[in-house]
Homo-oligomer: A and B are copies of this chain.
């Protein structure tokens, strides 16, 4: 299994449009083959800090997601509303 943690710093004025795009991304991605879970968290003390938490059956399933039309279309649009580069960690579960 592969897990992904992606941390977005979103401009306060653009939070609504960012979340609309993110919700569309999540709604499509959860139906992809090999997607175990895919969801968005919001820091209660910093509403502009959004964290995507993802679980994939394999690296191959994740790579197919990264190449999908909805990913390559929506993620660049989401990136227009962030304050800095998104931090993405592809992870193994230790314990």
A residues engaging B (CB < 8 A)? 3, 5, 7, 19, 22-23, 26-27, 39-46, 49-51, 53, 89-95
Cα(A40)–Cα(B3), bound, Å: 11
> Can you tell how many copies of this chain the complex includes?
2
A45 contacts B90, C-beta separation under 8 Å: yes
A5's closest neighbor in chain B, by CB?
A: B51
Give the interface centre of A7, A26, A49, A94 by most chain B CB atoms within 10 Å: A94
B95 contacts A49, C-beta separation under 8 Å: no
**Which residues of chain B come closer than 8 Å to A49, judged between CB atoms?**
89
B91 contacts A42, C-beta separation under 8 Å: yes
Given contacts A3-B53, A5-B5, 5 further A-B contacts (CB under 8 A): A3-B41, A39-B93, A41-B92, A41-B94, A49-B89
A89's closest neighbor in chain B, by CB?
A: B43
Cα(A95)–Cα(B29), bound, Å: 12
Cα(A75)–Cα(B78), bound, Å: 35
